[in-house]
């Protein structure tokens, strides 16, 4: 009964926030790489977390609010806390809504079958009971990866350090940089690596009207063959073709994708396939931490994933950052070879 009551407390959402400083969305395709220039929906998007109290006690919840463009939103509520920070799958509550001027009204049905409401006021999501009274306040939070800005350890090869001393033309094939010194998609390392630990920081664009594989898509192909997908999957299920997935092979244990225009990290341990003569005796394996959370633990990768640069398994290869037509940005890339 207690758990059922906790879940009933969450809700269809209603969001209210001042948009006086927000800019209107441009006509046509909506693609943003700068939060300051984002559309009027962007301030509503993000993560909220707090405690809901009731007569039987209290329960922690996390909520992800996802902008879909043109004033439309999805919302996902997680009993126990946000993904990677308290939530235990599979229980969650979903809702949707529409922005009306300075209000965004989202409606959904909780696990008990009742409609619930809330408001975002001054950067916090206020949970309401059936009478419209506030029963909880969930502040907006901006999570950061604990490995963001991680310094390369002794013995590491620095691939890209932005405005640092490394000349990216010596480490990458035909690199292209933005005016503010970030690396653009569609680039590979000149050097090939075998068993190694990689650190990659990436930023996904905000494309609210895009869907599926068209929404902030790239991929990190380790050894040029084994893709860990990069995709704006904020608030989605967490499938093998979404952010953190080993494409077509394994879904992440939890969807750790942060909102678009947030810097994120992959820390990946790559184990090459092993051969005895021409015979492969061990498959490649990947251990992946997304924003500091373990999402793949020594997972076997029995094939070259789709769109890999080389259709054959080898023991070494480059890092390839895929160009899928979306403006994904990268910084602080280094690799620590194991031998």
Claim to verify: residue 137 and residue 175 sit in the same structural domain? no
Position 70 pLDDT exceeds 70: yes
Residue 149 domain-assigned? no
Claim to verify: residue 59 and residue 169 sit in the same structural domain? no
- Most confident stretch, 23-32, 49-58, 147-156: 147-156
Claim to verify: residue 260 and residue 325 sit in the same structural domain? yes
Residue 146 domain-assigned? no
Claim to verify: residue 165 and residue 204 sit in the same structural domain? yes
Place of tokens 């890092």: 319
Residue 108 domain-assigned? yes
Average pLDDT over residues 101-106: 74
Calpha distance 121→7 (Å, rounded): 22
Structural domain tally of the chain? 2
Position 288 pLDDT exceeds 90: yes
Place of tokens 């653009």: 184
Claim to verify: residue 126 and residue 181 sit in the same structural domain? no
- Range from 61-65, 124-128, 192-196, 321-325 carrying the lowest mean pLDDT: 124-128
- Shortest CA distance to 335 belongs to which of 197, 171, 233? 197
- Range from 60-64, 117-121, 229-233, 260-264 carrying the lowest mean pLDDT: 117-121
Give pLDDT, residue 66: 95
Position 17 pLDDT exceeds 60: no
Containing domain of residue 317, as a range?
A: 157-337
Q: Residue 311 — pLDDT band, cuts 50, 70, 90?
A: low
- Range from 14-18, 182-186, 210-214, 251-255 carrying the lowest mean pLDDT: 14-18
- 230, 244, 322 from 241: Cα distances, Å: 9, 8, 14
Residue 28 domain-assigned? yes
Counting residues of the chain whose pLDDT is more than 90, the rounded percentage is: 67
Residue 235 domain-assigned? yes
Claim to verify: residue 201 and residue 329 sit in the same structural domain? yes
Place of tokens 């967490």: 238
Claim to verify: residue 227 and residue 323 sit in the same structural domain? yes
Q: Which residue has the higher pLDDT, 71 or 22?
A: 71
Claim to verify: residue 170 and residue 136 sit in the same structural domain? no
Q: Residue 229 — pLDDT band, cuts 50, 70, 90?
A: very high
CATH number of domain containing 165: 2.60.120.560
Calpha distance 43→215 (Å, rounded): 19
Give pLDDT, residue 99: 83
Claim to verify: residue 318 and residue 269 sit in the same structural domain? yes
Counting residues of the chain whose pLDDT is more than 70, the rounded percentage is: 90
């Amino acid at each position: 009964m207690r758990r059922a009551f906790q879940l009933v407390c969450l809700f269809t959402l209603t969001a209210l926030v001042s948009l006086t400083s927000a800019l209107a969305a441009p006509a046509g395709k909506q693609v943003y790489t700068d939060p300051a220039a984002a559309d009027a929906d962007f301030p509503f998007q993000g993560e909220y977390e707090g405690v809901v109290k009731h007569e039987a006690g209290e329960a922690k919840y996390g909520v992800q609010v996802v902008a879909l463009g043109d004033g439309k939103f999805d919302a996902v509520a997680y009993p126990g806390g946000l993904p990677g920070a308290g939530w235990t799958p599979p229980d969650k509550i979903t809702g949707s809504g529409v922005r009306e001027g300075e209000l965004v009204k989202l409606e959904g049905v909780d696990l008990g079958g009742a409609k619930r409401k809330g408001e975002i006021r001054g950067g916090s999501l206020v949970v309401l009971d059936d009478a419209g009274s506030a029963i909880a306040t969930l502040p907006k939070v901006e999570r950061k990866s604990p490995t963001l800005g991680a310094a390369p350890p002794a013995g590491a090869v620095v691939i890209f350090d932005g405005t640092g001393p490394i000349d990216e033309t010596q480490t990458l094939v035909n690199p292209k940089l933005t005016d503010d010194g970030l690396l653009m998609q569609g680039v590979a390392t000149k050097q090939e690596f075998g068993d190694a630990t990689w650190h990659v920081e990436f930023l996904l664009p905000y494309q609210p009207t895009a869907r599926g594989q068209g929404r902030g898509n790239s991929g990190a192909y380790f050894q040029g063959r084994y893709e860990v997908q990069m995709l704006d999957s904020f608030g989605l299920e967490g499938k093998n073709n979404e952010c953190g997935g080993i494409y077509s092979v394994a879904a992440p244990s939890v969807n750790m994708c942060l909102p678009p225009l947030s810097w994120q990290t992959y820390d990946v341990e790559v184990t090459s396939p092993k051969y005895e003569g021409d015979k492969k005796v061990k498959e490649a394996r990947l251990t992946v931490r997304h924003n500091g959370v373990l999402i793949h633990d020594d997972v076997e990768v029995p094939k070259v994933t789709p769109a890999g640069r080389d259709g054959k398994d080898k023991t070494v290869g480059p890092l390839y950052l895929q160009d899928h037509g979306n403006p994904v940005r990268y910084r602080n890339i280094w690799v620590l070879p194991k031998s």
